[in-house]
Amino acid sequence: MICLDSGAGNYDQLWLTTSLRGVASGVLKVEVLTEGIHSGDASGLVPSSFRIMRQLFDRLEDSASGELLPRAFHAEIPPLRLEQARATAAILGPEVYRRFPWAHHDCGGATLFALPTTTDPVEALLRRTWRPTLSVTGADGFPALANAGNVLRPWSAFKLSLRLPPTVDAAQAVQQLKTLLEDNAPYQAKVTFEPEGAATGWDAPATRPWFEQALQAASQAHYGAPCATIGQGGTIPLMNLLSQGFPKAQMMVCGVLGPQSNAHGPNEFLHLPYAQRLTAAVAEVIARMP
């Protein structure tokens, strides 16, 4: 099986994807009032829907570290994946986290950049591939700044994206997330979590000798460097289904989403030389099938 929807650690060699995270998403809504009221009149007595939202998030993650608290959302990292992460970190080094477009500002003549959650390349790889992570990807119930007045808003809603380790069942995670957020709401507020999607991640099957030899030969022939492995933080739902349907198949998951390619962004780009060599490398692996 060949999938060309994945990424690359750099543009210098062939990269084989070894795992993909899953995802559980939905909209969390907190309702306190039936309409907005003057904040000077009500604040301090009527609880803020945003503050209740913060309390609900405290059930889910450590706000200081970003670590997900429920152990059901975590998974044991296989020893082979740890070994591969160390090898990948040795190749990429600080570029694992430097490749992102960090915000920066001037401070006393020095340029300060926003910092990652870790600067250890191995841990950085694991945090984006085998650790669960919560992101807020949208919000509603908030007026634009130009229209915001002295009004205590009646409700707040956030769209949540929970990235899951490759081996965690996404459907179960969605239900656990819904129960965690909705039960025993602070101040008896109306709290609802409406799931919008769930996709279980993927962990690649063991690589057979012929496949490993074909990958290394193809990478050397077309890049002049050995094939490397990397886990990806995104989700390709089809891969889990394919592995279930074809359990004996070898999976060549690779792609052109390398540094600064900015997938799904307004300035997404394709590194043409890498794509050309990847096309040739895939053809060579196919030709070397027994």
State whether 45 and 160 are in the same domain: yes
State whether 44 and 67 are in the same domain: yes
Domain harbouring 41, CATH code: 3.30.70.360
pLDDT 10s digits, 148-182: 999 999 999 999 999 999 999 999 999 999 999 99
State whether 149 and 240 are in the same domain: no
State whether 185 and 235 are in the same domain: no
Among residues 156, 172, 199, which one ends one of the domains? 199
State whether 132 and 172 are in the same domain: yes
Task: Give the residue numbers spanning the domain of 14.
Answer: 2-21+202-287
State whether 98 and 213 are in the same domain: no
State whether 222 and 150 are in the same domain: no
State whether 43 and 162 are in the same domain: yes
| Per-residue pLDDT at 108 exceeds 90 | no
pLDDT 10s digits, 256-278: 999 999 888 888 989 999 999 99
State whether 155 and 78 are in the same domain: yes
- Indicate the average pLDDT of the chain: 96
CA angle 69, 73, 74 (to 5 degrees): 90
pTM for this entry: 0.93
State whether 26 and 145 are in the same domain: yes
Pick from 286, 270, 33, 249: nearest CA to 154? 33
Q: What's the rounded mean pLDDT across residues 50-79?
A: 97
Domain harbouring 251, CATH code: 3.40.630.10
State whether 49 and 152 are in the same domain: yes
Pairing of strands 228-232, 15-20: parallel
Query: How many structural domains does the chain have?
Result: 2
Render 61-120 in DSSP notation, one character per residue: B-TTT--B--GGG--PPPHHHHHHHHHHHHHHTTHHHHTS---EEEETTEEEE---S---
